[in-house]
Chain A
Amino acid sequence: MTGFLSYLLQRILGLFVTVLAVAVTIFLMVRLLPGDPARVIAGVLATEQDVARIRVQLGLDQPIVVQAGIFLRDLFQGDLGVSARTSAPVLAEIGARLPATLTLAAAGMLMAIAIGVPLGAWAAARAGSLGDVVVSTLVLFGISMPVYWLGLMLIILFAINLRWLPAAGADGPASLVLPAVTLAAFSVAFIARITRSSMLEVLRQDYVRTAHAKGVDRRTVEWRHALRNALPPVVTVIGLQFGQLLGGAILTETVFGWPGLGRLLVDSIFARDYPMVQGLVIVFAAMFAFVNLLVDLTYERIDPRVRYG
């Protein structure tokens, strides 16, 4: 158990180092962008004094090393600054949008796991059959379909023609369905594909054949013995998919007018809102690192061969 504890501490430390590295990188990157952010933020009709004042407020009149120092000092105090666009604290604004993005990503992820894993396992157990071919084709379709296009098609079908679901907005659980399906489409396909190939490998192994020979019922062999052993690579993929979902959320949130972080990021980039862009990237990085940690910890539960120490 102490082995696990020190492993956990190491990993948490690593998480902080990662986020810090991301923070420094994004800080430098946004400052490499051409154009005068003070001018963009001030607006075209602002007086020169206004532009100069914003430059001071954003600290743009200081040498970049000084700016970086202030940024890191504030970051350690948990202060991500004030949005240049809205004058509201960055952390507060991210906090206000975070639930929407997490809800969408979680709904998409659950949908992807609930459909992707059984679908992949089912196809593997019937490798080469018509069912398998159909699943493989659907998977190919899901992986190659542009999120944007799929979203619009779903809107046309379910919102305009059938009028079953809202076309956009975040008004009650109904409005979550279309964006979550859109977001999940790629992940369903990807998870199904990985589950299928991992499962195929497991099904070829001796113990499966032994179980069959011993007369264990086919369902039990496939779903209890084989699937469990096929899961570790699937879990890794699910973890990676979470990052994918955060990225996919940018497009999905735009198409469906969903009030999440993805859209906030796009708006902030276009407004050259330095503090907000930095804050969002740091939050995204932290979430991604955290999910990776969870994935690694889950390994132990599903694959007894993996031990920490």
Chain B
Amino acid sequence: MTAFRVLPWLFVLVLSFGSALGQETFRIAIGVDPDTLDPQQSTTTTVDNVMDYVAEGLVTIDASGQTQPALATSWTTSDDGLTLDVELRQGVTFHDGTSLTSAEVVWTFERLLDPDVRNPRRGPIAAIESVEATGEHAVRFNLSEPAPYLVGALSMTTNVILPPSIVDVEGNSYENVTHLVGTGPYRFVERALGERVVVERFDDYWGENPYYEQVVFQVVPEATTRQSLVLAGQVDLAILPPTSDIPALEANPRTEVVLGPSNRTIFIAINNTDPALDDPRVRQALNYAVDKEAIIQGILFGAAEPMDAPMADSLFGYEEVGMYPYDPEKARELLAEAGIEEGELELDFMAPTGRYVQDFPAAQAIANFLREVGIDTQVRTMDWPTYVGTMLEPPEENTTQLHLLGWAPSYMDSAQQMEQFQSGQHPPNGLATSFYENPEVDALIDEAARELDPERRAALYGEAGTQIWEDAPWIFLWVQSFPMVHSAEVTNIGGFPNEKFDAIYARPAD
């Protein structure tokens, strides 16, 4: 029984360790372990978010999704759209002491385009043919084709500016960077695998200095535990708490909930080539059959807004086209018009589990709504890699009928979203997994991708959006928000519409 005699001592030991935290540290609980600290190899938004504390791109986006200058102060596209001239900010210092000139920018993009470096997001900058210095603080991008979305794409973390000396830092190589060096407001200190990433304030930062001396990103995969850390006062901010606890966290005086904006649209891709689903009236019927509002309130606890266009409203090119209101009668009518008897249609419906906010419970509710209009729907789930493998089968081998997906463009432009509706992007060429095909829409999107006049470009996307909405290649569901919970003792925390948290300038609440 001596074990029990040890316990009180154990607690004393424990208490003496518990209070060693400094006051000037800001702690954030994140859900995934940074698998890389090489921005050029990153695929994960949360990991990007951590790296954004340390490194910066030529441009950035603000809380409303607008592109803003960062390491570039201005940019001009030539009339033919084939060159992009960028003026660089002066007086910017990297964490290793070198100052930012065009040489670093050229080196960065050469590495980005070098096939020897694994860059999972080369697609959005693939139009860049070469980069050259046109002055001490000026660079020119030569493009293979007009790419009006390119400036926006430069805001992606993948495209942050790195100094060439980064490959000499201990542990780094040209192929892989594990110790990040950038120009950001915080300097990288350490990464403990599976545990945390620590950064500290960089006092020579060119912009406004943040309040906290140190920021610790703690890796906590379990949502309930992340929330507990905030409640226990161990972290200041946790991203993605359990959705079902949002109302309780909102009511708790010790915590505040931020429903950050997001550009992630949640939808069900309908296999448009399936004989049962190739009639637009059937697909419209599916849209009318689902009560999105009820699911958002009852299952997502308010953490979403119903879609009113084929893209999120934070994207350039968004134009509201309307709504498919919940109307089961109309759904039945449309099905009857398409010659489908009640109970005749059976659909196989795949949904992931834990990938998006309440994805599988929402899918079950949707299946119920479909059953109510006489469509027998079976929901199944599988692990994510298998899921992706199944939905990316080429059309002739693809037997999926409905599958739930969330699509979040990595920069704030409709270009990436619209790839979902291009016939040239059907798997295996791309990720347009509904196999939707409309030559008119294809032409509009192609034209928009090259159009240099922003107003005209937005109008083209708007026109395409209206047609897509009519053809209903998806069941349009909602734009998910990005929930975060933070201690009421801190303030100045928000979110960017690219699903990143905005906490660099967090400070104690008065």
Residues of A within 8 A of B (CB): 33-37, 39-40, 42-50, 53-54, 85-88, 93, 96-97, 100, 111, 114-115, 118, 152, 155-156, 159-160, 163-174, 177, 254-260, 263-264, 266-267, 269-272
Known: A159-B228, A172-B20, A173-B17. A97 touches B193 (CB 8 A): yes
Known A96-B193, A257-B218, A272-B385; judge A46-B122 contact (CB<8 A): yes
Q: Does B121 contact A (CB under 8 A)?
A: yes
By a CB distance below 8 angstroms, the chain B residues around A46 are 119-123
Which 3 A-B residue pairings sit nearest by Cβ, starting from the closest? A35-B389, A43-B120, A259-B194
Q: A45-B123, A46-B121, A256-B225 are in contact. Are A177 and B10 (CB under 8 A)?
A: yes
B119 lies within 8 A of A160 (CB): no
Q: Is B1 an interface residue (CB 8 A)?
A: yes
Q: Which of A40, A100, A168 contacts B229 (CB 8 A)?
A: A168
Taking a contact as CB atoms under 8 Å apart, the answer to whether B410 and A33 are in contact is no
Check: B221 CB closer than 8 A to any chain A CB: yes
Contact yes or no, B388 A35, CB < 8 A: yes
The one of A45, A100, A166, A169 in contact with B120, judged by C-beta atoms closer than 8 angstroms, is A45
B384 adjacent to A152 (CB under 8 Å): no
Interface contact A87-B175, CB-CB below 8 Å: yes
Residues of A within 8 A of B43 (CB): 43-45
CB under 8 Å from chain A, chain B span 205-242 = 218-222, 224-226, 228-229, 231-234
Partner of B35, one of A54, A85, A96: A85
Inter-chain CA distance A115–B5, complex, in Å, is 12
| A39-B389, A114-B3 known; A152-B224 Cβ under 8 A | yes
* Cross-chain pair count, CB within 8 angstroms: 177
- Which A residues are CB-close (under 8 A) to B390? 34-35
B50 CB to closest chain A CB (Å) equals: 14
Instruction: Identify 11 residue pairs between A and B in the complex whose beta-carbon atoms are under 8 Å apart, listed by A's number.
Output: A39-B388, A45-B122, A48-B429, A86-B36, A152-B225, A155-B232, A160-B231, A164-B14, A167-B228, A172-B20, A174-B13
Q: Interface size for chain B: under 10, 10 to 19, 20 to 34, or 35 or more residues?
A: 35 or more
What are the residues of chain B within 8 A of A260 when measuring CB–CB? 194
Task: Give CA–CA (A169, B33) in the complex, Å.
Answer: 12
Residue B102, interface by CB 8 Å: no
B15 interface contact, C-beta 8 A: yes
Interface residues of B (CB under 8 A from A): 1, 3, 10-11, 13-15, 17-18, 20, 29, 32-33, 35-36, 38, 41, 43, 115, 118-124, 126, 175-176, 178, 192-196, 218-222, 224-226, 228-229, 231-234, 383-390, 392, 410, 416, 429, 431
A115 to B3 CA separation, bound complex (whole angstroms): 7
Do the beta carbons of A53 and B115 come within 8 Å of each other?
yes
Q: Are B175 and A165 in contact (CB under 8 A)?
A: no
**CB contact between A167 and one of B36, B126, B232, B388 (< 8 Å): that residue:** B232
- Are B120 and A163 neighbours in the complex by a CB distance under 8 Å? no
* Chain A, residue nearest B21 (CB): A171
Closest-by-CB residue of A relative to B42 is A43
Determine the distance from Cα of A93 to Cα of B193 in the docked complex, in whole angstroms. 8
Alpha-carbon distance between A48 and B222 when the two chains are bound, in angstroms:
34
| Known A42-B120, A257-B220; contact A271-B35, beta-carbon cutoff 8 A | yes
Minimal beta-carbon separation of A220 from chain B (angstroms): 17
Residue in A45, A118, A266 with the greatest tally of chain B CB atoms within 10 Å: A45
**Contact of B195 with A170 in the complex, beta carbons under 8 Å:** yes
B386 touches A168 (CB 8 A): no
Min CB gap A192→B, angstroms: 12
Given contacts A88-B176, A156-B228, A270-B385, 11 further A-B contacts (CB under 8 A): A33-B386, A42-B120, A45-B121, A155-B225, A164-B15, A166-B234, A167-B232, A177-B10, A257-B219, A257-B225, A264-B194
Q: In whole Å, how far is A105's beta carbon from the nearest beta carbon of chain B? A: 15
User: How long is the Cα–Cα vector from A97 to B232 in the complex, in angstroms?
Assistant: 26
Q: Are A169 and B196 in contact (CB under 8 A)?
A: yes
In chain A, what residue has the closest Cβ to B13? Answer: A173
Closest to B407 in A: A44
> Within the assembled complex, what's the spacing in Å between the Cα atoms of A88 and B37?
11
Q: Is the CB of A167 within 8 A of B234?
A: yes
Chain B neighbourhood of A118, CB < 8 A = 1, 3
In the bound complex, CA of A53 to CA of B11 (Å): 54
Residues of B within 8 A of A271 (CB): 35, 385
Question: Which residues in B have their C-beta under 8 angstroms from that of A165?
Answer: 14, 18
For A148, give the chain B residue with the smallest CB separation: B222
In the complex, the answer to whether A259 meets B193 with C-beta atoms within 8 Å is yes
Min CB gap A204→B, angstroms:
25
With a 10 A CB-CB cut-off, give which of A114, A169, A271 has the most chain B CB atoms.
A169
